[in-house]
Chains A and B, each alone.
Chain A
Amino acid sequence: MTMTGYTESLTPAAAARRNFGKGRVARIGCVLAVVALACLVPFIGTSYQTLQMTFVLIYAIALLGLNILVGYNGQLSLGHGAFFGLGAYIAAIMMHHFGLPYWSTIPVVAVLCLIGGFLFGLPALRLEGHYLALATFSLALAMPQILKYPAFAQWTGGFMGLVISPVPVPAGVPLSSDQWLYFFCLALTLVMFLIGWNLMRGRTGQAIIAIRDQPTAAVSMGINLAYYKSMTFGVSAMYAGVAGALSALTAQFVSPDSFDFFLSISLLVGIVVGGIATVSGAIFGAVFIQFIPNIAEHISKSASWAVYGVALIGFMYLMPQGVVGLIRRLRGVISGAKRSAA
Chain B
Amino acid sequence: MDALLFQITSGITTGFIYASLALALVMIFQSTNHINFAQGEMAMFSTYIAFTLVQAGVPFWIAFPTTLLGAFVMGFVIERFVLRPFADAPVLTIVIVFIGLLVIFNSIAGWIFGYEMQPFPSPFPHSWGTRLVSAHQLGIAVVTLSVLAAVYLFFRFTSLGLAMRAAAQNPVSSRLVGIRVGLLLAVGWGLAAAIGAVAGIMAAPIVFLEPNMMAGIMIYAFAAALLGGINNPAGAVPGGIIVGVLENLAGAYVVGTELKLTTALVMILLVLLIRPAGLFGRTLRTRV
Q: Which partner residue on chain B sits nearest A140 by CB separation? A: B219
Residue-by-residue, is B36-53 near A (CB-CB < 8 Å gives 1, otherwise 0)? Answer: 000000000000000000
* A309 at interface by CB-CB < 8 Å: yes
Secondary structure of the A contact surface, majority rule: helix
Secondary structure of the B contact surface, majority rule: helix
User: What is the total of A-B residue contacts with beta carbons within 8 Å?
Assistant: 132
Instruction: Please state if B102 and A309 are interface contacts (CB–CB under 8 Å).
Output: yes
Instruction: Please state if A306 and B108 are interface contacts (CB–CB under 8 Å).
Output: yes
* A149 at interface by CB-CB < 8 Å: yes
Given known pairs A131-B272, A310-B104, the reply for A145 and B93 (CB within 8 Å) is no
* B178 at interface by CB-CB < 8 Å: no
On chain B, the residues within 8 Å of A313 by CB distance are 82, 97, 100-101, 104
Count of chain B residues near A, Cβ 8 A: 41
Residue-by-residue, is A146-190 near B (CB-CB < 8 Å gives 1, otherwise 0)? Answer: 101110000000000000000000000000000000000000000
Instruction: Please state if A310 and B100 are interface contacts (CB–CB under 8 Å).
Output: yes
Residue-by-residue, is B111-148 near A (CB-CB < 8 Å gives 1, otherwise 0)? Answer: 10000000000000000000000000000000000000
* B276 at interface by CB-CB < 8 Å: yes
CB of A81 to closest CB in B, whole Å:
13
Binds B, one of A13-21, A110-118, A264-272: A264-272
Spell out B's residues near A (CB within 8 Å). Answer: 33, 35, 82, 85-86, 89-93, 95-97, 99-104, 106-108, 110-111, 215, 219, 222-223, 226, 230, 258-259, 261-262, 265-266, 268-269, 272-273, 276
Spell out A's residues near B (CB within 8 Å). Answer: 1-3, 5-6, 70, 76, 123, 126-128, 130-131, 133-135, 137-138, 141-142, 145-146, 148-150, 261, 265, 268-269, 272-273, 276, 302-310, 312-313, 316-317, 320-321
Additional A-B contact list (13), CB under 8 Å, known A3-B90, A306-B111: A1-B91, A130-B35, A130-B226, A131-B226, A137-B219, A138-B262, A141-B219, A272-B96, A306-B103, A308-B107, A309-B107, A316-B97, A320-B90
Interface pairs (17), CB distance under 8 Å: A3-B91, A126-B276, A130-B35, A131-B226, A133-B35, A137-B219, A141-B219, A142-B259, A142-B261, A142-B265, A145-B262, A149-B258, A272-B92, A272-B93, A304-B107, A316-B89, A317-B85
